[in-house]
Amino acid sequence: MKIIFNLISILMVVAVIFIASLNTHTFFNFTVWVAKGASIIYHVALAKIILTFFVAGILAGVFWAASFYSPVENKLKEYQRKLEKTSVQTDEESSKVEVLEAKIQVLEKALQSALENKE
């Protein structure tokens, strides 16, 4: 599935670049300010406009996806901390069990030796 998404995204980038290259000779005139006899007009190629909107769309998508990635990453870190605490507790419990087993063995030996001495 990842390969399909990568191919689709590559095709989209190629398509936008192709469309932009077809429109390199098409210009738009943007009039910014008009006063008595003076005006500010920008001549912008349509290809630049297409590529600008394309880059803006990519950046918007990246930031939008990052907003979903950040909480998931935080939840993953929290889950890892929880697993570490659980493993530490398990280690502590297993060490307690080992200590208790050792004490039981010592008490059993003491009981056996006490019973042997009593006989």
89 lies in which domain range? 2-118
Output the pLDDT for position 111: 85
**What's the pTM?**
0.55
Q: Which residues of the chain have pLDDT under 70?
A: 119
Output the pLDDT for position 119: 67
Q: How many structural domains compose the chain?
A: 1
**Nearest-5° angle of CA 31, CA 34, CA 35?**
170
Residue where the block lists tokens 């995204």 = 9
CB atoms within 10 A of CB 50: 19
Beta carbons of 77 and 71 less than 8 angstroms apart: no
69-91 pLDDT tens trace: 777 788 888 888 887 777 777 77
